Structure 1
Amino acid sequence: MLPEVPTEGRIPFLDLTIPIHWENHAILMFGIWFVLVPFAIMVVRFGKGKPTTYGIPRGTPKWAFPEVCWALHFYGLYTAILLALAGAGFAMLLTGGFSGSLHAWFGVGTIGLGVLQIISAQFRGSHGGRKAPTSDPDDRTTWGGDHFDMTPQRWWFEAWHKTAGYFALFLAGGAVATGLSQFWVLGIAIALAVVVIGGLITAVVLQGRGYNHDTYLSVYGTHPDHPFNRRRFAQMLEEKDRKP
């Protein structure tokens, strides 16, 4: 342990000095960013249902397959951000604020992107589609929604959400690495290697076995009259015509 890492911290409003067990902080943050968050990502990446003509049946409960993957993703990430804010806030409270160390910057960047993910989710737009509660399954004119129509709002939300999510994991890796350089915990180092290698192998196997279904096709189906399906098919034809 490096000498600049404090071993005691003070809780101002209680006027109480307590020992700091950094291994608990390390375990919490590792569990959040390398167990809970990857699980929430993997379950929605590989847990979607196989596409059918009209996608997820109308009235499917939130905690039933295939809707359950989005429920786990949603609640898993919200829980992760709340726990990360609590863990970081308590550490800063005990040490007197932001330390300015490389670990602190990586940590703030990770949590900052996580918070922005929660905020950006409020702008994902409406769902729409045949299965929407406000839609008439027999009247396509009532199926409109940002996701079903893939409006620019939904398109850019997905572009941000997916990209920022992977950047957050990258920063989390930096936070763990710099944290271990300040306070070495062998178990965390071993667990990190196991999670990274195990996650890579799992993702490759699931991808290779065809479990990474297209989100739009999984949710709304493969029907050629769906707006985004029409656009993608037209784009394929244009690209085909441009080839010599």
Structure 2
Amino acid sequence: MSADLVTWLLTPISGRMDHELPAWTAWHGRAMVAAWAILLPLGVLVARYFKVMPRQAWPDELDNKTWWHWHRILQTAGVLSMTLGCSLALGRAHDTSALAQCHRWFGWAVMASGWVQVLGGVWRGSKGGGTTAIGLGASSEDAMRGDHYDMTARRYRFEYVHKVVGTAAILLAVVVIGMGLKLADAPRWMVAVLTVWWLALISVAGHLQRTGRCIDTYQAIWGPDPIHPGNRMRVIGWGVRRHSRESWKRRMGGTEYVQSIEDKQDRRQS
């Protein structure tokens, strides 16, 4: 890497050689980038493409909660980082330019979207599908009832809002971060690194989408059997797929996939 390129990367976007920021501005930017460029997008990626893990023997092995635990950890950390970043800017931002005004309003929209996701998760309803503790007095039939298993109107509303708001928030956050970099006159290397990072995320997501890994949450939990009520309803979300046992095995590598699963099952039994 030449010295000229290093100098260019270290120079602020405007080309000015002097670049000083108040501490609150720097930490506001770091917290927001950590939230909306790293933690929250990774949480979305995990939830969308890893409901069935790569070596999981689906549909014989159902409801692998690895994706759920990581989704919850990443989204919680992201929302907390976002909230911290927002709190650092309260009462301190006095730039009245059009760009700064847009950054603030769009930033508040992103902030609200993040908390809508949190509050919406609280009101997503019960799960059901036999996951209720029958030993606590519920009958087998009662244990099957639940907002998710039955795909009630409440669950439908939650899934639509959760997916639409989440996607819109991530896309808007990219714009807000870009505005923030411009307002802070950030070094060019930051723009370059974030651009490469987002392109990498898009590339990974595109590959996982093409290989059919965006499986319906309902199927990931309860399998493809049409006896389950949710499998007889319209799938929710763009690009979300449903699979039969056979189509899943074909997508995951045909006989090689079957052999790897059988080997895994043999190791468990031995």
Q: TM-score, normalised by structure 1?
A: 0.76
User: What is residue 214 of structure 1 aligned with on the other side?
Assistant: 216
Q: What letter matches 2:170 in structure 1?
A: L
User: What is residue 25 of structure 1 aligned with on the other side?
Assistant: 28
SS in 2 for 1:125: coil
Q: CA deviation at 1:178?
A: 1.2
Alignment gaps of 5+ in structure 2: 1-11, 15-19, 236-270
SS in 1 for 2:90: helix
Contact 2:131–2:143 (Cα < 8 Å) also in 1:
no
1:73 corresponds, among 71, 74, 89, to 71
User: What is residue 160 of structure 1 aligned with on the other side?
Assistant: 161
State how 1:33-44 maps to structure 2 within 5 Å: 33-44=36-47
Contact 1:126–1:145 (Cα < 8 Å) also in 2:
yes
Q: What letter matches 1:183 in structure 2?
A: A
- Counterparts of 1:37 and 1:115 in 2: how far apart (Å)? 12
Contact 1:130–1:143 (Cα < 8 Å) also in 2:
yes
Q: CA deviation at 1:203?
A: 0.7
- How many residue pairs get aligned? The number is 210
Q: What letter matches 2:62 in structure 1?
A: G
State how 1:40-119 maps to structure 2 within 5 Å: 40-49=43-52, 51-52=58-59, 55-56=62-63, 66-95=64-93, 101-119=101-119
- Counterparts of 1:88 and 1:232 in 2: how far apart (Å)? 38
Q: What letter matches 1:219 in structure 2?
A: I
Contact 1:26–1:188 (Cα < 8 Å) also in 2:
no
Q: What letter matches 1:67 in structure 2?
A: K
Per-residue deviation, residues 94-148 of structure 1 (Å, max 9, x unmatched): 4479997211111111011111111111110000012333489993453110000
- Counterparts of 1:137 and 1:218 in 2: how far apart (Å)? 25
State how 1:219-230 maps to structure 2 within 5 Å: 219-230=221-232
Deviates more, 1:122-131 or 1:153-162: 122-131
Change (3 A) 1:112 1:148: same
- Counterparts of 2:131 and 2:60 in 1: how far apart (Å)? 12
SS in 1 for 2:27: helix
- Counterparts of 1:138 and 1:37 in 2: how far apart (Å)? 39
1:192 corresponds, among 172, 175, 194, to 194
Q: What letter matches 2:162 in structure 1?
A: H
Change (3 A) 1:92 1:156: same
Alignment gaps of 5+ in structure 1: 9-18, 57-65, 234-244
Change (3 A) 1:117 1:98: farther
Higher RCO, 1 vs 2 (CA within 8 Å, ≥6 residues apart): 1
State percent identity of aligned pairs: 28
- Counterparts of 1:231 and 1:41 in 2: how far apart (Å)? 24
